């Protein structure tokens, strides 16, 4: 029987994952992942769902499964999928650190991997905030540092675990409605560092 393609790379609206997480809307496709808005039917909260989907290597066939386009891509696909899964496992270790954006769940399904993040509501990046403040306006330094404190604590937690964040910049720091800040993480910017050898691993 000939396979039929979905008309889009994205999961259809109302798709249910793990009998719990419902796809509501696609937000973006970047790098090896598709990002969706969703909701957790059990906790009744809004979530962000990241799906491992390297578009150059795969297509979505019937029954929502992600399949490799050609056998020559198999090794590359599975290596990158494993890296995506390890990213979730690594980030989950810092779930109790307030200043870091970490998963609340992750799992394998449809021949791929999903990472579930809590929806943080209306946010802007520190880079966007800099543009709104302008070069001539002033703000209270002490208040700014107080808002940034969770991020600094998060970086300290990474360092204690022997991990260096190599991509800290204003567009990686988000500001929440209550003015507190959090640092965005992904394994592309995190590297393990040996204190004994003073070298990256």
pLDDT in tens, 23-50: 999 998 888 999 999 999 999 999 999 9
pLDDT in tens, 79-121: 999 989 998 998 899 999 999 999 999 999 999 999 999 999 8
At 185, list the tokens: 């993480």
All structural domains of the chain, each given as residue ranges with its CATH number in brackets, are: 16-118 (3.30.200.20), 124-200 (1.10.510.10)
Q: Could you tell me if 184 and 99 are in contact, meaning their C-beta atoms sit under 8 angstroms apart?
A: no
Q: How many residues does the chain have?
A: 201
* H/E stretch holding 200: strand 199-200
What is d(CA 17, CA 113) in angstroms, rounded to the nearest whole number? 11
pLDDT at 201 over 80: no
pLDDT at 5 over 50: no
pLDDT on residue 131: 82
Q: How confident is the model at residue 4 (pLDDT cuts 50, 70, 90)?
A: very low
Among the listed residues 24, 21, 13, 25, the one whose alpha carbon sits nearest the alpha carbon of residue 43: 21
User: Is the Cα dihedral 120, 124, 90, 28 positive or negative?
Assistant: positive
pLDDT on residue 144: 86
């Amino acid at each position: 029987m000939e396979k039929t393609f979905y008309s889009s790379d994205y999961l259809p609206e109302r798709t249910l994952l793990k009998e719990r997480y419902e796809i509501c809307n696609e937000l973006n496709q970047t790098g090896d992942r598709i990002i969706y808005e969703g909701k957790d039917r059990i906790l009744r909260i809004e979530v962000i769902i990241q799906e491992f989907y390297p578009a150059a290597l795969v297509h979505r066939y019937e029954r929502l499964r992600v399949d490799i386009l050609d056998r020559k891509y198999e090794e590359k696909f599975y290596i990158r999928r494993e890296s995506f899964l390890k990213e979730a496992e690594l980030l989950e270790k810092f779930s109790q650190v307030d200043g870091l954006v970490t998963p609340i769940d992750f799992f394998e399904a449809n021949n791929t991997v999903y990472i579930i993040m809590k929806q943080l509501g209306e946010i802007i990046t520190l880079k966007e905030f800099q543009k709104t403040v302008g070069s001539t306006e002033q703000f209270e330094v002490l208040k700014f540092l107080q808002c940034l404190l969770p991020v600094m604590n998060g970086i300290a937690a990474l360092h204690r675990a022997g991990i260096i964040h190599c991509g800290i910049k204003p567009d990686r720091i988000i500001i929440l409605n209550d003015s507190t800040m959090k640092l965005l993480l992904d394994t592309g910017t995190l590297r393990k560092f040996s204190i004994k050898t003073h070298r990256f691993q």
